[in-house]
Amino acid sequence: MPAHTRPRGPDATAGGLPVGVVGTGYVGLTTAACLARLGHTVAGVDVDPDKVDALNHGEVDLGEPGLADLVRAGRDAGSLGFTTDPAALGAAGVVVVCVPTPSGPDGTADLAVFDSVLAGLAPVLAPDCVVAVKSTVPVGTTARAGRVLDRATVSNPEFLREGHAAHDFLHPDRIVLGADDPTAAGRVAALYAGLDAPVLRTDPASAELAKYASNAFLALKVSYVNVLAELCERVGADVGDVADTLRRDPRIGSAFLTPGPGWGGSCLPKDTRALLRTAEEAGVDFALLADAIAANRHQHDRVARTVREAITGSADGALAGVRIGLLGLTFKAGTDDVRDSPALAVAARLAVDGAVLTAYDPGIGRAAAGALTAAGVQSVDDPVLVAKDAAGLVLLTEWPRFRDLDWAELADHTGNPVLVDTRGLLDPGTMAGAGWRYHRLGRGRGEPGPTPG
């Protein structure tokens, strides 16, 4: 069992520790900015000179609420700076590794960047520097890093939600430290001094596995409720009422029980694949997780089929040349991230069938252009352009502002006011009053709406 403690009070840092953070993506930049906010002196290291220059000027290109303000505050206070020179880590008492570990073709985590970082760290770190691994890595990686670097290493996985990363870092529900050296674990724990959160101390392998296990369990819940939604449609039940009953059971909890087009993003897809691969290598038949992954792929097909039937009136209806408007492209609201987005997965299936797709997403950025092109989607900056002459609309990302659109105006612009709401975001009565034939996933009884024709 892990030991449960809490970080020592603010005096424990004695004015803060010199800290290095390697990598300035979602996790790395959030870690660097928030550690500076907690009173440490932080050097962020990245291989991209343009990104480093922008960060040193307070420019942040990630759509994370509050993160840009934290970066600028740290820069202005002199507690946060960025460089491409690993030698800047020489004064650090703790170096936190936050580099990507993408999924390889067989589901195994690709550690090429991580291993390259280890090779670069070896000659520059101070003898007593502790390395904390915040990157999501396979079981055994932290111990291997300790052998490569010949020093104490600590697994310190992150549990940050995109769109809430800075908040989650500064208000964590738990801090996990996996280490064989209690002194090293204590030094990493001191980074979080002053935060009111339990610290779970365990061995490195358990900490590494806990990260994968957490994300995989969330994926299981989403796949479960999506299959449940399909069952509700078949038997005439309402998944909203069924899920509300589940949420009220404290043994189940309320999160991740809303049906949608599937789960995606930078974590759940790669982490479920990596955990499944780990199980296979260990000789464990993790059929439950494999089924959740398969259910997620099925959900993309199911949503595309629902759209086809809603727009054409038939599950076999032709979509070639049919103009369809999409609302939302990011994998969830509150972020600009389209990595493994279920919205794009559904769009790609519609595009293969010949549909002409136009989309609006308030968070999308230029960096997503390649992914949109691959999915066959044209992005526009006005929802009216999405609706204009469309045979129907599909809501794919749960942006709250979509509730406040002028739906009566959008209905006037469409050639066929049909809406498939894959997130259950909108009110059926309101949509009926605005002139829409409204379809929501997981409802077996008909939604109110105007009679066709």
Which residues belong to the active site? Answer: 267
Q: Which stretches within 12-152 are classed as H helix?
A: 26-37, 49-56, 67-77, 112-121, 141-149
Give 257-270 as a DSSP string: -S--S---TTTHHH
The answer to whether 131 touches 97, Cβ cutoff 8 Å, is yes
Q: What single-letter amino acid sits at 205? A: A
Q: Are strands 18-22 and 41-45 parallel, antiparallel or unpaired?
A: parallel
Structure tokens at 360: 């609006």
Alpha carbon separation from 32 to 42, 69, 219 (Å, rounded): 6, 13, 28
DSSP 3-state of 351: helix
Nearest to 264 by CA among 211, 327, 342, 161: 342
CA 53 to chain centre: 26
Query: What does DSSP assign to residue 443?
Result: B
Backbone angles phi, psi at 392, to 5 degrees: 170, 165
- The span from the CA of 131 to the CA of 21, in Å, is 10
How many C-beta neighbours within 10 Å does residue 197 have?
14
Q: Provide CB contacts within 8 A for 20, sequence distance 6+.
A: 42, 43, 44, 45, 88, 89, 92, 94, 95, 96
**38: nearest Cα among 172, 199, 163:** 172
